Chains A and B, each alone.
Chain A
């Protein structure tokens, strides 16, 4: 199916905005995606008509909001094909999901001398929580490296795993390189050694269909705001038996069964991990976002974004002195690059003057920058609402910047 991009663009009000008097070209989708009116309207509707704190309410509004929240959970469950509804935990985002697992899993399963494996291309949010936990537990953090194309050396994984290894935490797609990692292979190798796997899907749920049962993954984490949903809502999927064995992470209302000063008992899944008033309006927004994406179809989205990636890669590669970082065989629509003699910050600032939004810097992946011996890159990341014409604007913009620097 060919997507009607003009029609799709009308769903995203922000795309009609002008920046510095120019048409906005939004190429910062790997940082956050824009929101369609379908998502905004649904959230506004709840604030206007149904807002009330959820769960345990006896009145109409509370039931309405509770239904909205639990319906969103159901939508997430179907979206990633989880076996049970209660395996879906709402969090603030990917970062909180990783922190929850790192802390709670470590409490139960990680001790002195045990090992955690992450990859060299992880976002800081899938490194630092594990570093903190390893420090606390006197455990060891090991790093699976990648090659100069930005492909993980998965063949080294089996060798790295020992009987002390407790968990492997890797991303499905790298936010700074765009690499799509062979996640099934990673899960299979790790499981064959009896070790658990956490997959950071923050950069993949918006591009590729994920089936947690087919993967047999133990934990999957992602954010709502990179999936055309609101900020402040994220998901942790965990296998039921693991989540049941793991202790609560945060205490508060909602997560308890009975509170006594002599000892408190905890609520069942998923509420055991959802302390405090849940972010139900954003959860409802996330549900609407997933419905929006599924309506368009992830296969269609992926096919079109691959088209954009191929077009942009060819165009940008033709620019003299431009080097792309992240040239893996399997990539998503992310291009990290530098132009000889031009600092990424200068490039980003000048492109901004032309209405083009790109991200510059380390993209929260300092180890990736260290791998290539650079301080940062310019990153353009495309979504299904972007067009080839916009890529032409970027291409011409980069040429213009290059020209400014020749003088």
Chain B
């Protein structure tokens, strides 16, 4: 699936939630289910600086596709990271670089995008894009 197809799928899923509690309960579920990062990858280098919760991203390039893993000490943040992984995992560096990320806005998580929210969502997206740029360069 393309990045846009996955985004559409997520937007559709979230449209089914009636109130905020369902939405957050789902994020908690996603966060709980996301396989975390092995401790050896929970390094300062992989740490995305967000003031309140810790988020780690690890990326590698396998057969031209970017493999992403993430972890966070806050479950909701981990749930958001899980959504980002769903969108970007197994995509090419070029597609990641050029992706127009619209689902966050549309599923009502936009408030978490403001840099002052300090949950690192902005930094997460930025970091993934950076991986895209870096791997594109390597390739």
Contacts and interface: CB of A to CB of B under 8 A. Distances in A.
A404 B73 contact: no
Contact of B25 (A20, A344, A376, A407): A407
A400 B20 CA distance: 13
Interface residues on B, range: 10 to 19
A216 interface: no
Given A404-B24, A404-B25, A407-B25, A346 B51 contact: no
A350 B119 contact: no
Interface string B60-74: 000000000000011
Given A360-B52, A376-B52, A346 B74 contact: yes
A343 B74 contact: yes
A32 to B, nearest CB: 15
Contacts, number: 44
Contacts of A400: 21
B38 interface: no
Given A360-B52, A376-B52, A345 B76 contact: yes
Interface in A287-311: none
A361 B76 CA distance: 15
A36 to B, nearest CB: 27
Interface in A326-345: 342-345
Contacts of B21: 353, 400, 404
B46 interface: no
Interface in B32-76: 51-54, 73-76
Given A20-B20, A353-B20, A345 B28 contact: no
Contacts of A353: 20-21, 24
Contacts of A405: 28, 75
A20 B20 CA distance: 10
Given A360-B52, A376-B52, A404-B28, A346 B76 contact: yes
A345 B119 contact: yes
A350 B77 CA distance: 12
A375 interface: yes
Given A20-B20, A375-B73, A345 B25 contact: no
Contact of A407 (B29, B73, B77, B119): B29
A342 B74 CA distance: 8
Interface in A83-113: none
A18 to B, nearest CB: 14
A406 to B, nearest CB: 10
A275 interface: no
Contacts of A189: none
A405 B21 CA distance: 11
Interface in B1-39: 20-21, 24-25, 28-29
A61 interface: no
B109 to A, nearest CB: 11
A20 B29 CA distance: 23
24 contacts: A343-B73, A343-B75, A343-B76, A343-B77, A344-B52, A345-B74, A345-B77, A346-B76, A346-B77, A349-B24, A349-B119, A350-B76, A353-B20, A353-B24, A361-B51, A361-B52, A375-B54, A375-B73, A376-B52, A400-B21, A404-B24, A405-B28, A405-B75, A407-B25
5 A-B pairs with the lowest CB-CB distances in the bound complex, closest first: A343-B74, A345-B74, A345-B53, A345-B52, A353-B20
Given A353-B21, A407-B28, A407-B29, 20 more contacts: A342-B75, A343-B73, A343-B77, A344-B52, A345-B52, A345-B76, A345-B77, A345-B119, A346-B75, A346-B77, A349-B76, A353-B20, A353-B24, A360-B52, A361-B52, A375-B73, A376-B52, A404-B24, A404-B25, A405-B75
